[in-house]
Structure 1
């Protein structure tokens, strides 16, 4: 037998795919593991979303192949969603492409724009998939450091010092995962100007804009952003639909057409029932998001209490569904992870999986019920 492709040499199995095997093994051994590691919403979607799925699934005509660009009603719902919540006008038939989750979109966008040897600006710390997809396509990630003293925003003076001649894409993600730095329109404006100056496509990965955030923001609120930017969005976090795999990418028509070329060769459309559920989810009002944020706010206060018991430092003015906490000087994230997992049966995420700038930090998920967080606090006591 001949060997594997080169791309398997440049990547590893996704951290949670690997680590959760160990967590599950410990559970099978009887360990009462409290999982604070992964950001998978534990709350259900709105009943109207499930009803829409059920009603559509009952129709005999629902089970065939669907269009590669989703049904028109879904694209219209996305456009209405952006107009209602961000004040952004998108053309439903030309500037929106539904996706089987925004993670899929990272691959599709990269395959559309990158050739072997191209370079990509990747945040450090940042979502590991930006790096792995870049490497799978034999392109080169060029990391730009995000630092706490700069609010976890890009240092544009440092970016200007880099050789940007081969850079085609820049991944940004605000509200930021894992740090929780909020989206700031002044920063987004600088990003658009930077992309325009250096002919770099800015891709804003925006799945957390409603989580513990009163004023959701989109990069398309910046004048001229459509000329240099794409934006990914998702219903995974905002609508508790992570397992449904519903997301979309928005941008100018010629870019969406090009991405569709790639996508149409990789899947055969989204199940109609899921599309109808997504339409229902995007029709929900601000009461829905407010209710979720009340729950997440209570959980976050308990996580803060847990972090204080561990002697960790953290920022409170953040968004998203995680708490990013700094360890005492001289401690490593793996040391604390192992101590909590094997001695307290608490699983958290080590910061280093998000890049070198994440070492010395750990990430707590808010997708944990209050009673479980209280139990974790009691275990430390």
Structure 2
């Protein structure tokens, strides 16, 4: 019998991969399932981006291998985007690495910096991929607490009490997923100083900064950030291009070049047409963001109404693509979401998917039309 690698013994199939099979089975049995669990944008990408993708198919180099570092025009587009929207200066030659989605960046960064037995600071609650990738590389996840009473920011005094000797990476993610919390200026200063003090690479995962958020922020805007920080970003949510798989890693040359050594052995470059479309998307004016967020504002108001109907509470100041809602006292997240799925055929995500501190919470996605959300409200 051929055995799988030992590294898979501590890694489970991704929650949504399993759960969506269950949802698909219910649909096949005639259940009218409303999916408010997944953050997959249902709106159209910028029209010009789609047109450039189509037109590029006739370019003579369209179907050849592409550069591991992406087209120079794409890197320049990313640099201009960061300058315009984040007030961050980046060298398109040395400080930008386009990715086939930012999720692959989590793996590439981890492979570039982690050895077996190293430790990684991971937010609880937080994106499950940080922990699964850490385990795949036989490093050790060290979960740090995020709590509502601290605005979902880490307690640095508690972090300083940890054994940090083998900690190589700290994952942060603001605006935060799943809670929608925004970090303060003081937080960014603290986390950069923490990284410098302990020689820890701070990686900010930043795909939600333009969704229902008036003040997009990059960690690289802060003093000394490039000494110890990298930032992941993505076109998936900002431009409704999740299936295109376009992301970026930005930061100083030494960190970027280390990740490129991994990436260049993992793929053969991003499809030419997707890069051309991404270049056009990055040129979108403020009107794009205002139009996008006007849709999400209407949807969020309806999801708030749905949450109230389920006796949940929420933070009206939270940002991002989701509504993070607190359950009535003594309710368990998974029991609650299973009950809602059974009684109302509505799929929402239990907070425990994102860590033990997600117990007592659920997450609603805004990636459904107003009609669909109104139907969910009517059922409840």
Shorter-chain TM band? over 0.9
- Confirm or deny: 8 A CA contact 1:120 1:141 kept in the other structure: yes
Offset at residue 330 of structure 1 (A): 1.0
Q: Tell whether the 8 Å contact from 2:208 to 2:238 is kept in structure 1 after alignment.
A: yes
Would you say 1:14 and 2:18 are equivalent positions? no
2:184 is matched with 184
- Kept in 2, the 8 Å contact 1:11–1:135? The answer is yes
Please tell me whether residue 302 in structure 1 is matched to residue 302 in structure 2.
Answer: yes
| Residues 346-368 of structure 1 deviation map (CA, whole Å, 9 limit, x = unaligned) | 00000001000001110000001
Contact 1:183 1:217 in 2 (8 A): no
Residues 224-303 of structure 1: matches in 2 within 5 Å? 224-303=224-303
Q: Which residue of 2 aligns with 1:375?
A: 375
Distance apart, 1:61 and its partner CA = 2.5
Tell whether 2:50 aligns with 1:71.
Answer: no
Aligned-pair CA distance for 1:3? 1.1
**Other structure's SS at 1:104 match:** helix
Instruction: Supply the distance in 2 between the matched residues of 1:49 and 1:360 (Cα, whole angstroms).
Output: 41
Shift of 1:335: 1.4
- Measure the CA separation in 1 of the matches of 2:38 and 2:189: 31
Query: Take 1:61 and 1:264, find their aligned partners in 2: how far apart are those partners?
Result: 20
CA deviation profile, 1:64-86 (whole Å, cap 9, x unmatched): 11010001000000000000000
Aligned residue number for residue 169 of structure 2? 169
Shift of 1:59: 2.3
Q: Which blocks of at least 5 consecutive residues in structure 1 are unaligned?
A: none
> 1:75-126: per-residue Cα shift (whole Å, max 9, x none)?
0000000000000000001000000000000000000000000000000000
C-alpha separation in 2, matches of 1:25 and 1:169 = 39
Query: Residue 242 of structure 1: CA displacement?
Result: 0.2
Deviation at residue 182 of structure 1 after TM alignment: 1.1
Greater mean alpha carbon deviation, residues 369-378 or residues 180-189: 180-189
Give the Cα separation in 1 of the matches to 2:283 and 2:290: 15
Distance in 1, Cα, partners of 2:60 & 2:147: 54
| CA deviation map 1:141-193 (0-9, x unaligned) | 00000000000011111111111111000000000000000132221111101
SS of the equivalent of 2:97 reads strand
- Give unmatched runs, 5+ long, in structure 2: none
| Aligned match of 2:214 | 214
State the Cα distance separating 1:60 from its structure 2 match: 3.8
Greater displacement, 337-346 / 107-116: 337-346
Answering whether residue 146 of structure 2 is matched by residue 146 of structure 1, we say yes
SS in structure 1 of the partner of residue 61 of structure 2: helix
Q: Which runs of 4+ in 1 moved over 4 A?
A: none
Q: How many residue pairs were aligned?
A: 380
Structure 1: distance between partners of 2:231 and 2:59: 33
* Corresponding residue for residue 196 of structure 1: 196
Q: Matched residue of 2:259: which SS?
A: helix
Task: Determine the C-alpha separation between the residues in 1 that align with 2:235 and 2:367.
Answer: 15
Aligned to 2:27: 27
Whether the 8 Å contact between 1:337 and 1:350 is mirrored in structure 2 is yes
Partner of 1:119: 119
